[in-house]
Amino acid sequence: MTSSPMLRVEDLRLSYSTARGDLPAVDGVSFSIQAGEALGLVGESGAGKSSLALALMRVLPRNVAQHSGIVELEGADCAGMDDETFRKQIRWSKMAMVFQPMSLFPWRTALNNVEFGLELRGTDAELRRKTALAMIELVGLKGFERKYPSQLSGGMKQRLAIARALALDPDILLMDEPFGSLDEQSRRLMGLELLRIWDRTRKTIVFVTHSIEEAIQLSDRILLMSARPSVIREEISVPLPRPRSMESLTSDVAKDIERRIWAALMQDVSAGGIDAA
């Protein structure tokens, strides 16, 4: 018997307020995620991937005019909660997010950056320091605790952002194009690093990306999102064995998945549906 999902989304709709009226962004999206699963969201720029991730975190932009639907986290309807209840009961205890702009505080050391969320939560200083040190070691930054973000490479900064999110011990880790600012080589290496971290923590991960190769490398399932207003065009299983390696990306299975995704994306291009805004 299948266990209840960690996260269930049903008929989620998002619209943005513009000078020309409401602009639909996400139009009736439904899916679920099991505990410990890595779910990839793939689509072109403007397809609503980030809007969907932000909606799950309830960090909705100010110009969102309407949002409706069901977002259940372990049976609790987050969409029906007021913002204060959501922050207290759900966001700080169950979800954490890693953005593409890494949002590290330049005046804080690596260690102090990782401690930040725990400070907001009110964790006592001793436990806060112990947890932060453990997360820094987990992401391979031991020895850089006293360094400032300006003294770290792009990949190291992203590891630090992941460590800060993991320090909160979230049930779900939402990642919105976390490697988008890195060069191709660094992206691949960070993908392998994330796989290593996932193998250690087995966190439930929602990973937003426009990189097909990245989605195949990291995901158990991929949701392919259409052009705006976005719906889930297709759900694709990624039956590559774990632990994964770069070699798995050149397998026939990976190539078949890549061709399948490209074919679907090209349908949107042919229909003139891609909006890069």
pLDDT digits over 211-229, tens only? 888 899 899 999 998 877 7
User: How far apart, in whole angstroms, are the C-alpha atoms of residue 277 and residue 274?
Assistant: 9
pLDDT of residue 116: 92
Mean pLDDT computed over 17-45: 83
Of 214, 205, 208, the closest CA to residue 248 belongs to 214
Residue 6 has pLDDT above 60, yes or no: yes
**Domain ranges in the chain?**
7-104+173-270
Cβ distance 269 to 45 under 8 Å? no
pLDDT digits over 128-170, tens only? 999 999 999 999 999 999 999 999 998 899 899 999 999 999 8
- Range in 52-66, 97-111, 238-252, 258-272 with the lowest mean pLDDT: 52-66
pLDDT of residue 147: 96
Q: Which two tokens stand for residue 188?
A: 């691949």
Residue 66 has pLDDT above 70, yes or no: no
Fold of 7-104+173-270: Rossmann fold (3.40.50)
Radius of gyration of the chain (CA): 19
Cβ distance 256 to 223 under 8 Å? no
SS3 of residue 6 by DSSP = coil
pLDDT of residue 85: 64
